[in-house]
Structures are given as structure tokens and as C-alpha cells.
Amino acid sequence: MNLLLYVTGSISSYKAYDLTRELSKKGFDVRVILSKGASKFIKKELFLFLGASDCYGPEDDFSHKQILHIELARWCDQMVICPASANTVSKLANGFANDFGTSTYLALDKSKPCLVFPAMNTKMLDHPGVQKNIKQLQSYNRTHVFPTKSGLLACNETGEGKLLDVDNILTLITSFPETTSKKMNILLSTGASINPLDDVRYITNPASGITGEEIARSLLKDGHFLTVIYGGTNKRLFNDFFGHPNLKLIKATTTKDFHIKTMKEFIGKDVFISSAALSDIEFSYSEGKIKKNNLNGSLKFNQSIDILLDVLKERKPHQKVIGFAAESDLDPSVIISKLNKKPVDFLVATKVDSGITKKIPSKGFLSTKAEYKLYEGETIYFQGELKKTKLAKIISERIATW
């Protein structure tokens, strides 16, 4: 993908260096325009060493045979303005074309997305004029203005206006919809449940939610509207998706909590992807901490509610369901038995092992790849090792046929 990065005058403009490097690593062809203000903070030559195929200063527009702001608008598939100062937001919102970057924005075809990442002082951000300009800019074609985050600003004040982290910006760029065509409403569960024994102890598993994040990234890029119910001990799960316009995030804890939220959100959805690693066991909860002298060698526990089974009972004819089965052995008879009990439209059977008892590297958990058997009905669609990015792509492709 050809990506044009317009860097404007902000103390946070140095983050454009890291953004360029990471975009280049992911295969983007990046070209950079620096505004007059940005060129006071950073130098264009360094972008070339970080992977950009070209970088232009504020005076370079008419220094070539071509009219560069027209040529670059034609060349790029996506324009990113990061950071976007209050001055730049105001100029873009009001149709100004008094420099290289703003002229390029006006020349951009209306079908091409432009992603704007503001950065400024809190009081500037809160000013009615700036808020009006952000709203106006947001209304243009495929321009999307992302939120800022709260934190310590360069002026030593604390509040909104801080530029999003580079990882967050990178995720939003790589998962932004490539098309405006009407898509599906999809529900995804991911991560792990946490079922308490008492106020101190609980049972869970090592599921990190990496698979869910990759599926979400692929589905959002395809333009779908996504609701994600997620849980577990991974504190960074979905942090980098903050601000995505097509994403709704819902935190869950216990298996019962997942059940309540899943059944509520499933209503009206086109597809449910049940990728969460939910505990089959729940304890008889004890308030406080169970003392050692009360641990008599056995703990009371029950089988947890089966969310996927309840979803299949409630689904309407048009609703599709993708199930996940985590097993230590992908025995076909075990998988077919599961399919007979819970006849999902597509099943992802994953070989997993925490590795703790065998003192070996974990399988399936905390990894970017795993061993899978994919079933469509009782027919094996694929079997073997896959990167989770590839699994996400397969799931997106299957959904596209429904």
C-alpha cells in the first residue's frame, strides 16, 4: 500500500520517525511531507534512513517537473496526517491550500481515506473553534479524525490532547476500512475467563487474546462493524485499538459474565465468533480467603455454563457461528463429537498446551502461530500450522462468502 504521511508542527512530531519505521517494516511504501512548522523540529533526511521512499520539505512542491501535490495525491492509497496541529486542523476544515500538505489533501480523491491524529494543548483542543473544525473535518469524504489521549503534555499540564502512542496509531492505520461498502455486524469473544475460588485465588488459562486481536484487525480492515467481548490477565489486550470507529469493546471477567454479555450482544448480529478460552470449571465461591486448615484435599466445583451451546439454541436462520475448540490432541473423533453437539458453520480446532507440567514451550498460547484443524461441517477445510494472521485472513474470507 502507498501511504503518504503529512507531519505538521507539533512537539510530538518526532514520533513520526518511529511511525515511518514501523510502517515500512509492515510493507508500506511511505512518502513523507513536512510542514514548515514540522521542519523546525525534525529533519527530512532521517526519514529516508528509517524506510521512507522519499521525504519532501515545505518548499519542495514546485521543485520537480511534476506538480507534486497532485502527483502525490494520485500516488497514495491512504493519507495520514500525524501529528495534526490545531492550525493544520483549522486549515483543512476550511479548505485552505496555503502549503504543500494542505494542497495535497484538497487534491485527494474522495474515495481515498485520510486519517488525522491531532496533538495539542488541552485548552486549545477544548476551544469551541477547534472543536467546530474537528467536527467539520470529520464530515469530509473519507476523512476520520481520531481522539487524543490524556496524559502529561509537553507544556507540563495534564489533560487531553496528547498524541496517541505509535503502536496505537499503527494498529488504527492497518485496520482502517479499505472500503465504504456495507458490511456485517459481527460479535467476537476472545481472551480468557477468570473464575474465582475466593477473594484471592481463581482459575484461568494462558490465553492472551492474540488470535482475537488478529481476527479483529482483519475484519475491521474489511469494513465490518465489530463488537468484542474480551477478558483474561493480558492487560494490554485491545489497548492499541483505542479510537477505532467501527469497534465496540466490552470487558468481561467470569464465564457467567461472558454468558450474560454474549447473549445480550448476539441479538441482531450477523456472525458470532466464539474464540474466547472460557473455563469449563467454576468453583463454589467462598468470601475472603480459604484458610489452609480448611483445604482438606478437595474443592467443590461445577461445570460452567456452555455459552456456545446457548447461542446455537437462540440463533436465527440468517446468523452464522464460528466456533473454537482448544484441545491437547486434535483427535478427529473428539472434534466430530463436538460438531455433532454444537453444529457451528465453521470450526477452528487448536492444539494447545500450557507447557507448565511438561516443562516445554507452550503450544497455541502466547504465540503468533499454532497447529489447527479447520472444519466446514464435518469436512476438513485445512490442517497444519498457521500464523494467527493467516488464520484471521481465512476467517475473514469465509465470512465474505456468507
CB of 192 closer than 8 Å to CB of 112: no
Average pLDDT over residues 22-29: 97
DSSP 78-136: EEEEEEE-HHHHHHHHTT---SHHHHHHHHS-TTS-EEEEE---HHHHHSHHHHHHHHH
- pLDDT score recorded for residue 227: 98
Residue 204 C-alpha cell reads as 484461568
Q: What is the pLDDT of residues 145-158, one digit of tens each?
A: 999 999 888 888 88
pLDDT at 360: 67
Say whether pLDDT at 63 is over 80.
no
Q: In the prediction, which pLDDT does 377 show?
A: 87
Q: Is 155 a catalytic residue?
A: yes
CA distance 341 to 100: 62
DSSP string, 165-228: PHHHHHHHHHTS-S--S---EEEEEEEB--EESSSS-EE-----SHHHHHHHHHHHHTT-EEEE
**For 284-305, how does the pLDDT look when each residue is reduced to its tens digit (9 = 90+)?**
888 899 888 777 777 788 899 9
Percentage of the chain beyond pLDDT 90 is: 79
**What's the pLDDT band for 121 if we cut at 50, 70, 90?**
very high
Please state the pTM of the whole predicted model.
0.93
Mean pLDDT within 367-388: 92
User: What do you get for the CA distance between the two ends of the chain, in Å?
Assistant: 27
Give 23 or 369, the one with higher predicted confidence: 23
pLDDT at residue 2 greater than cutoff 80: yes
Cis geometry, peptide bond prior to residue 147 (ω within 30 degrees of 0): no
Catalytic residue (choose from 76, 82, 114, 155): 155
**Strand boundaries in 280-368, DSSP class E:** 281-283, 301-303, 320-327, 346-351
pLDDT in tens, 176-205: 998 888 799 999 999 999 999 999 999 998
| pLDDT score of 239 | 97
Mind listing the domains of the chain with CATH numbers?
Answer: 2-174 (3.40.50.1950), 185-400 (3.40.50.10300)
pLDDT digits (tens, 9 = 90+) for 221-270: 999 999 999 999 999 999 999 999 999 999 999 999 999 999 999 999 99
pLDDT of residue 157: 86
Identify whether the C-beta of residue 255 lies closer than 8 Å to the C-beta of residue 304: yes
